């Protein structure tokens, strides 16, 4: 199983926020996930990012791949 750290879209139309999740790379964007690592809300000023750093670093150490967007969000949060 190839795990990926990616964003899962939540919220209403035109008002999205995202959960940062670990999911199987073959599952759909909003499908089943393994573990939730935090949230990202781009609608606030400045953007709100809440991440469980220990869990995120553990998954990265275990070999979970990051999507480009998840990588930039985690970099802004200071996790990577």
DSSP 16: E
All structural domains of the chain with their residue ranges: 3-65
Spatial CA neighbour of 23 closest among 63, 72, 64: 64
pTM tops 0.85: yes
Q: How far apart are CA 40 and CA 32, in angstroms?
A: 19
Q: What CATH number belongs to 3-65?
A: 3.30.1320.10
Ordered per-residue pLDDT tens for the chain, 80 residues = 799 999 999 999 999 999 999 999 999 888 899 999 999 999 999 999 999 999 999 999 999 999 999 999 999 999 88
* Diameter of the chain measured on Cα atoms: 37
């Amino acid at each position: 199983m190839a795990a990926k750290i990616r964003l899962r879209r939540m919220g209403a139309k035109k008002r999205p926020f995202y959960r940062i999740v670990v999911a199987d790379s073959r599952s759909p964007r909003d499908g089943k996930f393994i573990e939730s690592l935090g949230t990202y809300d781009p609608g606030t000023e400045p953007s709100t990012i809440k991440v469980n750093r220990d869990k995120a670093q553990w998954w990265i150490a275990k070999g979970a791949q990051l999507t480009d967007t998840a990588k930039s969000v985690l970099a802004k949060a200071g996790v990577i």
